Amino acid sequence: MSGGSLLPPVGTTPNPGSTVTVGGFGVHKIVMPEGVFEPVKGLYSQVIETRSPVRYEIAGSLAYDADGQLPEGMAAQCQAVMRNIDLSLQAVGMTPANVVRMRIYTLDMDLFLKEGIGAVFGHFGETRPTSTLVQIVRLANPKMLVEIDATAAPFGDPA
């Protein structure tokens, strides 16, 4: 898309109560409600309205490559997870801009905030989805540090 940014850069936020339209079709609308505290201003969207009747639920994505190799380190695993989410999105004709929700599970919150957050949230550019970030005790493989699932919806007015 040309003509400027869709959202303000991290560290800024739309005015409380304002909306920002994403996608050029008025379908994904970001709402920043007045009175809701933002721990990291502009990192994620508080509410996204989508009028698309179609949703794609992307299962928890892991850092394995196509050969079953798991990279070491939080940053490398986060980059690999985002690559795998991209592959899932591409399989249904979507891009990161179509992601409206993600859930992030990590074994080490401090390490994620230090090394992984940029790889995950930076991947979306200025079309930041809503998100939940939680620390958990364990993933299926004890060498995995992060797992992310996502929900995507196409642009376009269903009417």
What CATH number has the domain bearing residue 122?
3.30.1330.40
Q: Which residue has the higher pLDDT, 159 or 133?
A: 133
Q: Is the residue at 28 inside a domain?
A: no
- The answer to whether the beta carbons of residues 23 and 97 sit under 8 Å apart is yes
pLDDT at 55: 87
The boundaries of the domain holding residue 66 are 56-152
The pLDDT of residue 11 is above 60: no
Q: 3-state secondary structure string, 83-142?
A: HHHHHHHHHCCCCHHHEEEEEEEECCHHHHHHHHHHHHHHHHCCCCCEEEEEECCCCCCC
Q: Which residues contact 47 (CB under 8 A, 6 or more apart)?
A: 30, 31, 32, 33, 130
Q: Is the residue at 24 inside a domain?
A: no
Q: Is the residue at 27 inside a domain?
A: no
Token pair belonging to 125: 């550019």
Confidence of residue 54 (pLDDT cuts 50, 70, 90): confident
- Per the structure, how many domains does the chain have? 1
Task: Compute the radius of gyration of the chain from its Cα atoms.
Answer: 16
* Reported pTM: 0.75
Q: How would you class 59 by CB atoms within 10 Å of its CB: exposed for 0-12, middle for 13-18, buried for 19 or more?
A: exposed
- Distance in angstroms (rounded) separating the CA atoms of residues 42 and 11: 5
